[in-house]
Amino acid sequence: MHIPDGFLDTKTIVATSLFSLAGLGKALRSLSREMTSRKIPLMGLAAAFVFVAQMLNFPVVGGTSGHLLGAVLISVLAGMNAGIVIISLILVVQAFLFADGGILALGANIFNMAIVGSVIGTAMYRGIRLIAPGRWGFYVGVAAAAWCSTVVAAICCAGQLAWSGTVAWGIGFPAMAGIHMLIGIGEAVITAIVLAAVTATRPDLLSGRGPEDGNAAPLKPLGNAVVYGAIVVAGLALFVSPFSSRWPDGLEKVAARFGFDTARLSAPLMASPLAEYRMPGIGLVSVSTALAGTVGAAVVSVAAVIVVRAISRKSAKTS
Amino acid sequence: MHPDFIDRYSRNNSPIHRMPAGVKCSAALLLVACILVSPWTLTGASPALFVLLVGTALGAGIPPGFLFRRILGAGFILALLSVLILLQPGGVEKFFTILIKSILSLTTAVLLANTTPFSEVISLLKRIRLPAVLVTVLALMYRYIFVLFDEMGRMKRARESRSFGIGHARRWHLLGTVLARLFIRSTDRAERIYAAMCARGWDA
């Protein structure tokens, strides 16, 4: 989902660049606090590793192929701050040397893949680990986090394209989210297999963070989570939530273009408790949309957590 | 794949290659920014610009076929997004504008990468006072991409010589274990590199 140059307009480029500068600055500051000089070559090699890993394609349905994003993989292996910096540097090199992703679109690509990918992935992973600390909790958490990071990054990308007026949300959102829901499966499988193989051969590399360590990883200061959370939520609210209640319009446009009967589509496709994604009683449309999105995300995470807990209990009994 | 697969022509020797990296980088950025804000559709300016870019490539000894292949290399996402644009009402005109803009920007980026050695870009980044950690990690990463790529090639050859082709289901497992092995080798290598850097008096 590397956005090339030409697909984003000026306001989106400026906004995404500011967001990724904020996120990257925060990551560098936290990193300099925990960093020893010993870790610098390790980060360089980890970055080269993810770069090479991204060049391996795995088959997705129908002859297309996807490649690893690696945000969750490297965040689990090296920590989230390092993960953000490493994925950002990979994107810089890809933009300048491979022309993979535009130069001016670098801000958007860093925001989607490095910052949103790592932060959402790590939050998901941590959340699942908190509830299911066992071995299966580790693998389910890692896989779910990898899948989520890919899909959310793709949705964010669709939001930016829509905000730029390039690809309407009604077309971009289903296409990007749909494709990346498939690619995300590959990402999840590979991430879990790689982490399992690293654990099997060199558990010391994951000391304190491995599948057998329960929840041993100390929770980082709350300020970290708050700053990253604020950056990601603000970005998602700006790029994605203005559209999330609007997508039936886009669908109607497509339908009109292809001459479908629009009346048939005007009935809601699915009645939901948060109808039209608006919380009742809140005046500001954008604020209420963002709030409704947050509530929806919370509900989905709780549901995911309950499912994982059930699965890990079952596997604990059988094993 | 060619061992020098990323920026094959960046170490040519031509007047364009000898220009300072800062000039080339800022010129490329300026050009991409101009392409972005200009409201052209299919007017004369874009073919002229394209001829200019290809001319620069020829002057720097970069074959046009290479430029073309690199543009095709970024083709998948370009094609996907372009099809999405075509699907919306009134998309045809927008399709051509955006496609021309992104191909011109792509050509500029490929040209920059192949006329400027990356080591010069790194020293430029150091001069404009980017955080030292960032620049060092970037330099190490660029250096070891090629090494790790070779390492993976050797692992792949060893694997293939032991297993004559392999089924579909096990391919996923193999991909995962090869990557895990590569990560372990990378961390081991990082330890050796750190020791070698310290032995040569490196100070972060």
End residue of a domain, out of B122, B146, B165: B122
State pLDDT tens for residues B17-53: 888 888 888 998 999 888 888 776 556 677 788 888 8
Q: Closest residue of B to A204, CA-based?
A: B184
Domain that holds residue B55: 15-122
Q: Closest residue of B to A57, CA-based?
A: B175
Report DSSP letters for A269-309, one per residue.
SS--TTGGG--TT---HHHHHHHHHHHHHHHHHHHHHHHHH
State pLDDT tens for residues A247-304: 444 444 544 455 443 333 333 344 444 444 444 444 455 455 555 555 655 665 565 5
Chains A & B: contacts with CB separation below 8 Å: 237
State pTM to two decimals: 0.81
The whole-angstrom distance between A276's CA and the closest CA on chain B is 23
Q: Closest residue of A to B79, CA-based?
A: A4
> Total structural domains in chain B?
2
Contacting residues of B for A90, CB less than 8 Å apart: 141
Mean pLDDT across B175-203:
91
Q: Test B181 with A253 for CB contact under 8 angstroms.
A: no
End residue of a domain, out of B122, B155, B170: B122
- Whether residue B147 is found in the same domain as residue B103: no
Across the interface, of A47, A52, A100, the residue whose CB is closest to B152 is A52
Across the interface, of A175, A189, A205, the residue whose CB is closest to B187 is A205
Considering only residues B175 and A77, tell me which one the structure prediction assigns the higher pLDDT.
A77
Residue A84, pLDDT score = 94
The whole-angstrom distance between A200's CA and the closest CA on chain B is 10
Q: Test A41 with B190 for CB contact under 8 angstroms.
A: yes
- Whether residue B28 is found in the same domain as residue B77: yes
Residue A115, pLDDT score = 94
Contacting residues of A for B137, CB less than 8 Å apart: 40, 43-44, 47, 85-86, 89
Report DSSP letters for B114-158, one per residue.
HHS-HHHHHHHHHHTT--HHHHHHHHHHHHHHHHHHHHHHHHHHH
ipTM of the complex: 0.89
User: DSSP alpha helices (H): ranges in chain B?
Assistant: 15-18, 21-37, 45-59, 64-73, 75-87, 91-115, 118-127, 132-162, 168-199
- Best to test chain B binding among A96, A166, A243, A253 (most B CBs inside 10 Å): A96
Q: Running DSSP on this structure, what letter comes out for residue A220?
A: P
Contacting residues of B for A37, CB less than 8 Å apart: 194, 202-204
How many residues are given for chain A? 319
Residue A268, pLDDT score = 39
Contacting residues of B for A171, CB less than 8 Å apart: 84, 87-88
Q: Running DSSP on this structure, what letter comes out for residue A58?
A: E
Confirm whether B9 is domain-assigned.
no
The domain spans of chain A are 10-260+270-318
A166, A157 contact by CB (below 8 A):
no
Q: Indicate if the pLDDT at residue B189 is higher than 90.
A: yes
Q: Test A52 with B7 for CB contact under 8 angstroms.
A: no
Confirm whether B1 is domain-assigned.
no
Q: CA-to-CA distance for A287 and A315, rounded, in angstroms?
A: 42
Across the interface, of B70, B136, B190, the residue whose CB is closest to A99 is B70
Q: Running DSSP on this structure, what letter comes out for residue A213?
A: G
Report DSSP letters for A137-153, one per residue.
HHHHHHHHHHHHHHHHH
Of B181, B78, B194, B95, residue with least CA distance to B137: B194
Three-state SS for A135? helix
- Whether residue B188 is found in the same domain as residue B89: no
- Whether residue B194 is found in the same domain as residue B137: yes
- Whether residue B37 is found in the same domain as residue B83: yes
Confirm whether B204 is domain-assigned.
no
End residue of a domain, out of B73, B100, B122: B122
B22, B76 contact by CB (below 8 A):
no
Q: CA-to-CA distance for A26 and A30, rounded, in angstroms?
A: 6
Domain spanning A10-260+270-318: CATH 1.10.1760.20:
yes
Residue A294, pLDDT score = 59
Tens-binned pLDDT, residue by residue, of chain A (319 aa): 888 888 888 899 999 999 999 999 999 988 888 778 888 999 999 999 999 888 877 766 665 667 788 999 999 998 889 999 999 999 998 888 877 888 999 999 999 999 999 999 998 888 888 888 888 888 889 999 999 999 999 999 999 998 888 888 888 888 888 888 888 888 898 899 899 889 888 888 876 666 766 554 555 556 677 788 888 888 888 888 777 655 444 444 544 455 443 333 333 344 444 444 444 444 455 455 555 555 655 665 565 555 555 555 554 554 4
Q: Which of A209-213, B54-58, B155-159, B194-198 has the lowest average pLDDT?
A: A209-213
Which residues, listed in sequence order, are joined to residue A66 by a DSSP beta bridge? A58
Residue B192 class from Cβ within 10 Å (0-12 exposed, 13-18 middle, 19+ buried)?
exposed
Of A251, A224, A241, residue with least CA distance to A288: A241
Print burial letters for B131-163: b (CB count within 10 Å at least 16), e (below 16): bebbbbbbbbbbbbbeebbebbeebeeeeeeee
Question: What phi and psi, each to the nearest 5 degrees, are found at residue A57?
Answer: -95, 145
Confirm whether B90 is domain-assigned.
yes
Across the interface, of B7, B35, B145, the residue whose CB is closest to A52 is B145
Contacting residues of A for B88, CB less than 8 Å apart: 167-168, 171, 250, 253-254, 257
Q: Test A7 with B112 for CB contact under 8 angstroms.
A: no
Q: Test A48 with B148 for CB contact under 8 angstroms.
A: yes
- Whether residue B44 is found in the same domain as residue B80: yes
State pLDDT tens for residues A77-95: 988 899 999 999 999 988 8
Considering only residues B204 and A199, tell me which one the structure prediction assigns the higher pLDDT.
A199
- Whether residue B81 is found in the same domain as residue B162: no
Contacting residues of B for A189, CB less than 8 Å apart: 172, 176
Q: Test A168 with B88 for CB contact under 8 angstroms.
A: yes
Q: CA-to-CA distance for A114 and A72, rounded, in angstroms?
A: 10
The whole-angstrom distance between A49's CA and the closest CA on chain B is 6
Q: Test B84 with A172 for CB contact under 8 angstroms.
A: yes
Cα angle A35-A222-A73, degrees, rounded to a multiple of 5: 55
Q: Test B81 with A168 for CB contact under 8 angstroms.
A: no
Contacting residues of A for B7, CB less than 8 Å apart: 97
Confirm whether B6 is domain-assigned.
no
Q: CA-to-CA distance for A140 and A119, rounded, in angstroms?
A: 17
Residue type, A173: F
State pLDDT tens for residues B83-137: 788 777 777 777 888 888 888 888 888 888 888 888 899 999 999 988 888 999 9
Q: CA-to-CA distance for B189 and B195, rounded, in angstroms?
A: 10
Q: Test A198 with B180 for CB contact under 8 angstroms.
A: yes
Of A188, A128, A122, A180, residue with least CA distance to A153: A180
Q: Test A256 with B78 for CB contact under 8 angstroms.
A: no
Residue A157, pLDDT score = 92
Residue A22, pLDDT score = 93
- Best to test chain A binding among B49, B88, B107, B136 (most A CBs inside 10 Å): B88
Residue B166, pLDDT score = 62
Residue A251, pLDDT score = 44
Q: Running DSSP on this structure, what letter comes out for residue A208?
A: T
